[in-house]
Structures are given as C-alpha cells and as structure tokens.
C-alpha cells in the first residue's frame, strides 16, 4: 500500500538523529520518538505477532514512506538497537528497542520492528493505540483454555479426581476438536484440527504440562498456550502464570 508522506517529522527525526550521532556522542543514547498519529493503526493492528509469549516484539507500519536516496536509507537501517518511544504528544505511551527498519521500494510505507521489555508492556501500548485484534485473539484463546480445563475437571469426576494425561481423553466432554487450537496459531501457521483422529499426526496448540494431577491442586498449571503464555490451572482458572 502506498500513501502520501504525511509524517515527515518522524522520518526527518530518525535521519537527523542517525546523522548527528557522529557529531554528538550522546545523541545515540537519546530515545527516538514516534508519534501515535504517525502509526498506520489499521495496518499495524492487523499484523500478527508470532510466538508473542517468547518475543514481545511487533511490527509497526508508519504513514511515512521509504526515501529514494541510498544515504538516507542507510541512516534508517542503522537505527537498529536504538531506544524508541511511542508518544501521544508529550505523553510516552511505551518504550522499546528498534530491532529492524524494514525498507520496501521508494514510496512504500516504512515498517519498524520494535522489541518491548515484556508482553505486558506491549499489550498496554496496543490498548493505548486502540488496537483490537490482539485482544480478540487473546480472549478467544482464554475461552478455549477455560473450556478445556473445565472439561478436564468434568472428566476427573469419574476418574479418581485426577485430570487426564492427554487431550484425546476429552473427546466426549469437549466435542469440537477445533477448541484445541489457539486462534493465533491458526493465523500464523494455518494450523487446523477438523477431526479427533488428526491428533495422532497434528499436534494441538495447547500443551498439558502436568498430566494426572489432582483437581484440588489449585497452584499447579495443568495446561498452557505457548503462543500467548496463558495457563489453565487445575482449579479451573485461566491466567498468566504467577498472576492472580
């Protein structure tokens, strides 16, 4: 998608910081600022974060376009490793580190990959930016985990009050096998499960980490999502580990 250059201050600012750092040694230690209004929210919102639980990193599509001179391009690429602040006017919405500046052809939108200190920091920024899809997928994931662990507890009532060691045992309690796939996994790897027989060749997203534990062990994680980092506990609750 090509757009008019409506955020020249961001591109100019990035370039000036890159160039001035040779004259001012302290310049490279100062964070680069990107304004909220200079982020293409709709395109950035739709970008999927792969393995978010492991790497709280995401791509931001800017309204700025790729310059056509090579010197300026090199200056932008050289910003990898610099601190960056996402701002709304003077308010700092979030702070991270630039991993890469992705350049397409001249006139195409700039894309910046930014790493954040934690998933929580990134999620807080996404909320402030008005993003929706990450939270829709996360909510669906937690709903899946809740359905699975409640089914496991139901299964345990006739199996000595212990949770099953494999998800196939929950076929009758769960019903639809698609619940075993995180919505983020569907969108990043096209993983699907249409029939319970596929479990022998196609692993579900969710992983049992404590097979056969008692339903009364409220402190033990039973099931986890490697995509979001969410955990389902033996007592039926779903949350991020060590967060209550």
105/166 same-domain check: no
The answer to whether position 244 is within a domain reads no
Confidence of residue 233 (pLDDT cuts 50, 70, 90): very high
Q: How many CB atoms lie within 10 A of CB 62?
A: 24
Domain limits for position 124? 8-130
Stronger pLDDT, 30 or 163, i.e. the higher one: 163
What's the whole-number average pLDDT of the chain? 84
Q: Return the pLDDT at 27.
A: 63
Taking a C-beta distance cutoff of 8 angstroms, is the pair 126, 134 a contact? yes
Confidence of residue 70 (pLDDT cuts 50, 70, 90): confident
80/149 same-domain check: no
Q: Return the pLDDT at 8.
A: 29
User: What gap in Å lies between CA 201 and CA 88, rounded to an integer?
Assistant: 48
DSSP per residue over 34-90, as a string?
A: EEGGGB-HHHHHT---TTTTT--EEEEEEEEE--SSHHHHHHHHTTTT-EEEEEETT
Q: Does the reported pTM lie above 0.85? A: no
Q: Return the pLDDT at 23.
A: 52
| CA 113 centroid distance within chain | 12
Q: Is the backbone of residue 125 left (phi > 0), alpha (psi -120 to 50) or beta? A: alpha
159/58 same-domain check: no
99/198 same-domain check: no
Residue finishing a domain among 130, 153, 181: 130
Tell me what the mean pLDDT of segment 190-218 comes to: 86
DSSP per residue over 80-138, as a string?
A: TT-EEEEEETTEEEEEEEEEEEE--STTBEEEEEEE-S-HHHHHHHHHHTT--HHHHHH
Tokens of 94: 């979030």
Residue finishing a domain among 101, 130, 159: 130
Confidence of residue 24 (pLDDT cuts 50, 70, 90): low
Tokens of 230: 């969410």
Confidence of residue 173 (pLDDT cuts 50, 70, 90): very high
145/210 same-domain check: yes
Name the domain count of the chain.
2
CA-nearest of 79, 67, 70, 71 to 114 is 79
158/145 same-domain check: yes
120/12 same-domain check: yes
Poorest-pLDDT segment among 57-71, 147-161, 162-176: 57-71
CA-nearest of 61, 66, 64 to 41 is 61
Q: What is the pLDDT of residues 104-128, one digit of tens each?
A: 888 889 999 999 998 889 999 999 9
Tokens of 146: 């809740």
DSSP 232: E
Residue finishing a domain among 91, 115, 130: 130
| Residue where the block lists tokens 């998933």 | 119
């Amino acid at each position: 998608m090509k757009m008019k250059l409506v955020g020249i201050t961001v591109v100019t600012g990035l370039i000036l910081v890159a160039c001035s750092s040779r004259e001012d040694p302290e310049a490279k230690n100062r964070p680069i600022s990107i304004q909220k209004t200079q982020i293409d929210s709709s395109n950035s919102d739709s970008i999927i974060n792969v393995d978010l639980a492991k790497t709280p990193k995401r791509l931001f599509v800017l309204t700025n376009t790729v310059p056509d001179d090579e010197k300026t391009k090199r200056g932008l690429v050289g910003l990898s490793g610099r601190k960056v602040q996402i701002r709304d006017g003077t308010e700092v919405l979030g702070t991270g580190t630039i991993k890469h500046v992705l350049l397409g052809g001249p006139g195409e939108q700039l894309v910046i990959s930014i790493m954040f200190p934690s998933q929580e920091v990134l999620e807080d920024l996404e909320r402030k930016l008005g993003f929706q899809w990450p939270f829709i997928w996360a909510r669906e994931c937690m709903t899946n985990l809740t359905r699975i662990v409640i089914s496991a507890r139901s299964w345990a009532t006739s199996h000595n009050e212990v949770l099953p060691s494999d998800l196939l045992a929950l076929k009758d309690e769960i019903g639809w096998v698609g619940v075993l796939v995180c919505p983020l996994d569907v969108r990043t790897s096209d993983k699907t499960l249409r029939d319970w027989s596929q479990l022998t060749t196609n692993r579900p997203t969710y992983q049992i980490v404590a097979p056969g534990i008692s339903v009364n062990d409220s402190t033990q994680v039973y099931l986890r999502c490697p995509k979001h980092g969410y955990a389902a506990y033996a007592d039926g609750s779903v949350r991020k580990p060590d967060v209550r």
